[in-house]
Chains A and B, each alone.
Chain A
Amino acid sequence: MINKNPYVPAPVEITKIIDEVDTHDIKTFRLAFLNKDDEAGFKYLPGQFAELSIYGKGESPIGIASSPTQTGYIEFTVQRAGAVVPGLVTSALHDLDEGAKIGIRGPLGNSWPIEFLEKKNIVVVGGGFAFTTLRSLTNYMLHDDNRKRFGEITVIYGARTPGLLLYKDELAAWEKREDIKSIITVDKGDEAWRGREGFVPNVCKEVAPSPKNSVAVICGPPVMIKFTLPVFFELGFSKENILTSLEMRMKCGVGKCGRCNVGYKYVCSDGPVFSLAELDNLPRDF
């Protein structure tokens, strides 16, 4: 991106919209580049994000939900924001139909540290809507070209209700595979739910993944993070081996506009992925 104007979005077309949850406020948007050059320039890894851009509304930084092993398109799972602050861009996006054209700037930020994760057992822990870049990582690791680069893969994913689980078809497919241990849980099931019930921290305690040669990758709402981290400390995971992804308000996405800093790190360009050991060296200002 060095020679390109980093503030100018590339045009993309929405080729598919998937209504993910029964509250209809989270949708996955599949995007295809209109220009071949833009597509070739968009080389990303799981954990990165991009600014989705709608002229007249603005831009929103959203984690990339597809895996780079999926070619020809990129996916973003977007919640319609607005319960507290009007979410101009996300609302406008939710009102669009397949075939509409928007802009995209990216890929931005660092990624899940793939080289660091190689040859290790990976424990993916996600809660609710914060599963998007974890889905990207999981699909990346499960791809035929990549699966042998990683040890055991365990995914622990929870939502409040069955209807709020994202990527339901993929979750079902993972449960059938031998090379991934997939534990899906909901806080409270409904009549049709045959799966597990229980909060993510408790399920982590039950599953008790071994810390030996393992890395935990954890994303979720603050309350889930708060109660899940002590479980992993208890299991013996070091702070270097627990990774998470931060969110802050962003504008430029390239470390220039001065908005998303936590201490001396910009979440957009130095992050969003940090280890707990790294976060320990930053002030609690997020």
Chain B
Amino acid sequence: MLKKISINKISELVAALMGKGLLLAPVKENSGYNFAEIKNPSQVDLDFHNTIASPKAAFFPHKEDFIKYETGKPIDTASVVALNLPPTFLFGARPCDVKSFEIMDIHFNASGIIDPYWKQRREVTTIFGYAFDLEKPAQPEEFYQTLGIGAADPEGSDVFMVKKGEDLLLDSVTPKGEKIIAELKILNEGKAADKKYYDESIKKGKEYKTRNMCLEPAAITKKLEDLFHNTDFWMGVSSACLSCGICTFVCPTCYCFDICDDTLFGQGTRRRVWDACMFTDFTLEASGHNPRTQVYQRLRQKINHKYSYHVRKYGVISCVGCGRCTKHCPVNIDIYSIIEAAMKA
């Protein structure tokens, strides 16, 4: 059921979605684009390549409150924070980022323990994926082709969108997506030529050039296991690292979190917040023991987690090649180059 709408009418589509729930979409900020809750339809700007931060915060917000309490009061007076999530629309997520949600699903639902926050946020959200502009070249940091992800892969989205000149084509991928685009009366029926363009775009997306190397998950896993105790290698690739952690915060597949108690004037909240394995106190134990005091040990942990441990544990590489970590690293550490060097080492 292909639909279309003129891009200059996008704010009407946005307004229709806002009428149905909460809308998260790319907004232009001072230093680039980011996903934000839309308050005014004119905020939405689809003229972006990709956002600074990944859209993972839609399901894994920077702060998630678990419990509210009053300090000094009995524990049974504490209350669990109810989620009460409205229907949510994540509008304009790029295919590599949509892929990251599937990778995170495996983790948050693993070992018979389901993370209730991730699960509920996933359930209420309808994803409008958006193909990269195939007429424009990829950014130099990107390498999703290496991970087998196309620039126009609809899988994982509920509705997938492709730009065709001045029009936006929308097709449903899941029953949830089909229902929503059937309800959006503002959309017009797509023509046969539109359908042909849409299908060809998805095919062309598979060939879209980003940095690319041949990477077998089993091979890189083994290679990194063999390299683990090669301290020279890890010292070399991490020598410039500042342990700032920005790579983990912009990453769509980094999920490490801290659980902390925040109290002020007798009011307390227990919440989880994003954390980063690049920080020195991440593994500091109360005894004073810390297995990762050195920068190289922490960068080694991060690379191994994504390209070795995750493969061993869940069968997939935990990286989608979006290139954000490389782009935002203040000292130009490039995960792609590290993987390439590891394969050659």
**Chain A positions near chain B (C-beta within 8 angstroms):** 1-2, 5-9, 11, 34, 55-60, 81-85, 87, 90, 101-103, 247-249, 251-252, 254-259, 261, 263-265, 269, 283-286
Contacts and interface: CB of A to CB of B under 8 A. Distances in A.
Interface of B: 66-67, 69, 71-72, 74-76, 78, 80, 107-108, 110-116, 225, 228-229, 255-261, 263, 268, 270, 272, 275, 277, 282-288, 291-292, 297, 301, 304-305, 308-310, 312-313
B71 A55 contact: yes
Given A2-B112, A2-B113, A259-B256, 12 more contacts: A6-B113, A6-B115, A7-B67, A55-B71, A248-B291, A254-B111, A256-B113, A257-B257, A283-B225, A284-B229, A285-B228, A286-B291
Contacts of B275: 251, 257-259
A59 B259 contact: yes
B301 A256 contact: no
Nearest to B310: A264
A249 B257 CA distance: 13
A69 B292 CA distance: 39
B259 to A, nearest CB: 5
A1 B114 CA distance: 9
A249 B312 contact: no
Nearest to A261: B309
A152 to B, nearest CB: 34
9 contacts: A2-B112, A7-B272, A8-B67, A55-B69, A56-B69, A56-B71, A101-B74, A248-B291, A256-B257
Given A261-B309, A264-B309, A83 B288 contact: yes
A59 B272 CA distance: 12
Contacts of B72: 56
Given A55-B69, A285-B297, A261 B305 contact: yes
B74 A85 contact: no
A259 B67 CA distance: 21
B261 A58 contact: yes
Nearest to B254: A258
Contacts of B291: 248, 285-286
Contacts of A60: 286
B229 A255 contact: no
Contacts of B260: 58
A207 to B, nearest CB: 29
A252 B75 CA distance: 19
- The 3 A-B residue pairs with the shortest CB-CB distance, nearest first, are A84-B288, A258-B256, A81-B286
A257 B258 contact: yes
B301 A285 contact: yes
B288 A258 contact: no
Contacts of B301: 261, 285
B2 to A, nearest CB: 39
A55 B72 CA distance: 9
A245 to B, nearest CB: 14
Contacts of A284: 229
Given A87-B286, A102-B75, A55 B229 contact: no
